[in-house]
């Protein structure tokens, strides 16, 4: 019991690494308690109802358990890594489409510059900056960003839902992205 309690306070990255290293069930349970309700909110907003949302959440968390060994804190935070699993599961499970993706081992892939050794620290700093940058956006812009991540036909659906002309949606999104750009890309 005391184990579980101390796990709740650990950072998601550490929990996920503990799962990857030794199949740590207490760490996995803590990850589940943190992420499963957020995944359910995410999948519900994307149209999964009731039991289907719960089933998809279970599948995402099972994938987290099985693929934990692929998690690389230098590439992404635990939340980002879990987000990409949930995103792929909803494309497959809710929209019934394939998600075309690069193959990192493809000889035709043009390689990028090698990552710096301290990339894991940078990644966690990026995450903190992103939280702050989103909090600093005007409400209408941060709401549009959320809709862009939680709608299937993003721009036209946003226009419909907000009653704004499509051009206004696009220019507001562009404004929001402009404000995030320094955090997202340039730093």
Partner 1 sequence: MPSHHPSEEMLMDYAAGSLAEAPALLVATHLALCPECRHRVSAFEALGGVLLEELSPAPLGAEALDAVLARLDDPAALEPPPRTPRATVTAAPATPPRPAPLLPEPLRSYAGGDPDTIAWRRVIGGIEEHVLPVARTDFKACLYRIAPGVVVPRHTHGRSEMLLVLEGAVRDRGMRFGRGDVSFADGGIDHSPAAEPERPCICLAVLDGPLRLTGPIGRWLNRFVKL
Is residue 49 involved in binding partner 1 (CB under 8 A)?
A: no
Q: In this structure, what token pair is assigned to residue 57?
A: 């959440």
Q: Which of 130, 137, 164, 175 binds partner 1 (CB under 8 A)?
A: 130
Asked if residue 102 binds partner 1 (CB under 8 A), the reply is yes
Q: Which is nearer to partner 1, 112 or 163 (CB)?
A: 112
Which stretch, 1-9, 49-57, 159-167, contacts partner 1 (CB under 8 A)?
Answer: 49-57
The verdict on 180 binding partner 1 (CB under 8 A) reads: yes
Should residue 101 be labelled a site residue for partner 1 when binding is judged by CB under 8 A?
A: yes
Q: What are the percentages of helix, strand and coil residues in the chain, rounded to 5?
A: 70, 0, 30
CA distance 127 to 134: 11
- Three-class DSSP category at 98: coil
Contact track, partner 1, 54-73, x by CB under 8 A: x--xxx-xxx-xx-------
Structure tokens at 140: 């209408």
Burial of 112 (0-12, 13-18, 19+ CB in 10 A): exposed
- Pick the binder of partner 1 from 14, 72, 143, 151 (CB under 8 A): 151
């Amino acid at each position: 019991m005391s184990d579980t309690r101390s796990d709740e306070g650990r950072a998601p990255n550490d929990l996920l690494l503990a799962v990857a290293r030794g199949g740590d069930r207490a760490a996995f349970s803590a990850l589940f308690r943190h992420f499963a309700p957020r995944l359910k909110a995410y999948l519900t907003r994307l149209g999964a109802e009731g039991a289907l949302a719960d089933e998809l959440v279970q599948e995402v968390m099972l994938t987290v358990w099985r693929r934990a060994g692929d998690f690389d804190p230098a590439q992404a935070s635990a939340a980002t890594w879990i987000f990409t699993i949930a995103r792929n599961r909803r494309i497959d499970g809710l929209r019934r489409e394939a998600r075309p993706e690069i193959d990192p081992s493809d000889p035709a892939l043009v390689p990028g510059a090698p990552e710096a050794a301290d990339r894991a620290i940078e990644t966690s700093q990026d995450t903190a900056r992103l939280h702050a940058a989103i909090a600093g956006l005007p409400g209408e812009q941060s709401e549009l960003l959320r809709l862009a991540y939680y709608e299937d036909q993003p721009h036209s659906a946003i226009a419909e839902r907000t009653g704004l002309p499509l051009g206004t949606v696009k220019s507001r999104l562009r404004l929001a992205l402009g404000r995030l750009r320094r955090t997202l890309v340039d730093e």
